[in-house]
């Protein structure tokens, strides 16, 4: 599979710039599509399909080249994750939505010990609440999701895991742009793998974005973020250290029609392990 790392990272930016120049027809003062999509409108139903691809490469020091040698042997571990998620969202009220998601995720890992892989399926139940609309203070939206069911298979052994996630987004309109900031925390419950108990580390993320509505059809997004991985444990013993990544994000939202919208985002690390992702999401409102 082709690499997403430098210098190919710039290809994403060139693609986004090409979309901008192709569709720009003027500048309007309406809300960016990303902001409009935070809450499903009252009594409406939204259906979406999201495709996500993530590639991570880490440099590992595996030990000295020889006895009493000052030089170390290093290797690259590569992880590739692809996921497909379908979601239904229902606008329960003007400021509340309920949603359900079904997803399938595939992980491929290439390490010094060889190739490994796993597949995972999950069902999420969640919701969002606009606690405060935008007025004299920034708007505040809270969201949550719970894994109602899920399973994965790795090395022919059945693994069952659950996740819980909570998040918050605030935004403020400063025509013609909208400033937004979000935080999210995901808890991964421990799960059995054979005769041992694995507890994946929790993940916290923070993002600040600049949202810009070019016109009624096109919105742009750019920002930076921080993602923090807590250590994973095996039977209470630490398997990894805490890791922090500095990220940058570029995105575009395109209204395909009165009821259909397409989002495309790319995200890659500025500091920490080399990582890059590409996300496509299509949304239809009934």
Q: Which of 147, 152, 163, 164 is nearest to 192 (CA)?
A: 152
CA pair distance 231, 159, nearest whole angstrom? 20
Strand 274-285 relative to strand 260-271, pairing: antiparallel
Beta carbons of 177 and 209 less than 8 angstroms apart: no
Specify the 3-state DSSP secondary structure of 225.
strand
pLDDT digits (tens, 9 = 90+) for 120-145: 888 999 999 999 988 888 999 999 99
Q: What are 12's two structure tokens?
A: 């994403």
Q: Does some domain include residue 42?
A: yes
Q: What is the pLDDT of residue 31?
A: 65
With respect to residue 81, please indicate whether it lies within any of the assigned structural domains: yes
Classify residue 2: in a domain, yes or no.
no
Task: Tell me the whole-structure pTM to 2 decimals.
Answer: 0.76
**Assigned token pair, 233:** 């444990």
* Domain membership of residue 178 as a residue range: 9-285
Domain-embedded: residue 4: no
**What pLDDT digit, counting tens, does each position of 183-242 carry?**
999 988 877 666 777 777 889 999 999 988 888 889 998 999 999 988 877 777 766 678
CATH of the domain at 92: 2.40.128.130
Range 154-166 average pLDDT: 65
The pLDDT tens digits of the residues spanning 7-26 come to 455 445 545 545 444 444 34
φ and ψ at residue 11, rounded to 5 degrees: -65, -35
Q: Is residue 3 part of a domain?
A: no
Mean pLDDT of 43-64: 78
Average pLDDT of every residue of the chain: 78
* 222 within domain boundaries: yes
Number of domains forming the structure of the chain: 1
Question: Which H or E run includes 177?
Answer: strand 177-188
Residue 1 within any structural domain of the chain:
no
- Residues in Cβ contact with 68 at an 8 Å cutoff, skipping those fewer than 6 apart: none
In a domain, 232, yes or no: yes
Sequence-separated (6 or more) residues with CB below 8 Å from residue 173: 31, 134
Confidence of residue 62 (pLDDT cuts 50, 70, 90): very low
What digits encode the pLDDT tens for the residues 81-109?
A: 899 999 999 999 889 999 999 999 888 87
Cα separation, 146 vs 128, whole angstroms: 12
């Amino acid at each position: 599979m082709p690499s997403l790392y430098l210098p190919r990272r710039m290809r994403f930016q060139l693609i986004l710039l090409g979309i901008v120049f192709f569709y720009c027809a003027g500048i309007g003062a309406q809300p960016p599509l990303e902001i409009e999509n935070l809450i499903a409108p009252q009594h409406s139903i939204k259906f979406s399909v999201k495709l996500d691809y993530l590639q991570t490469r880490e440099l590992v020091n595996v030990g000295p080249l020889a006895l009493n040698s000052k030089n170390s042997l290093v290797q690259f571990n590569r992880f590739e994750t692809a996921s497909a998620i379908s979601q239904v969202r229902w606008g329960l009220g003007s400021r509340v939505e309920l949603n359900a998601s079904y997803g399938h995720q595939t992980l491929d890992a290439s390490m010094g010990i060889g190739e490994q892989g796993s597949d995972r399926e999950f069902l999420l139940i969640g919701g969002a609440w606009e606690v405060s609309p935008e007025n004299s203070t920034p708007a505040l939206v809270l969201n949550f999701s719970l894994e109602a069911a899920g399973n994965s298979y790795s090395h022919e052994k059945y693994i069952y895991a659950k996740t819980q996630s909570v998040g918050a987004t605030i935004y403020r309109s400063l025509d013609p742009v909208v400033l937004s900031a979000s935080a999210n925390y995901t808890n991964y419950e421990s799960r059995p793998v054979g005769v041992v108990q694995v507890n994946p580390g929790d993940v916290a993320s923070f993002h600040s974005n600049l949202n810009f509505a070019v016109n009624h059809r096109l919105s742009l997004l750019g920002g930076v973020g921080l993602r923090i991985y807590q250590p994973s444990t095996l039977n209470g013993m630490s398997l990894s250290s805490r890791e922090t990544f500095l990220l940058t994000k570029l995105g575009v939202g395109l209204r395909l029609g009165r009821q259909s919208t397409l989002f495309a985002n790319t995200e890659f690390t500025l500091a920490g392990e080399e990582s890059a992702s590409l996300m496509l999401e299509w949304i239809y409102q009934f």
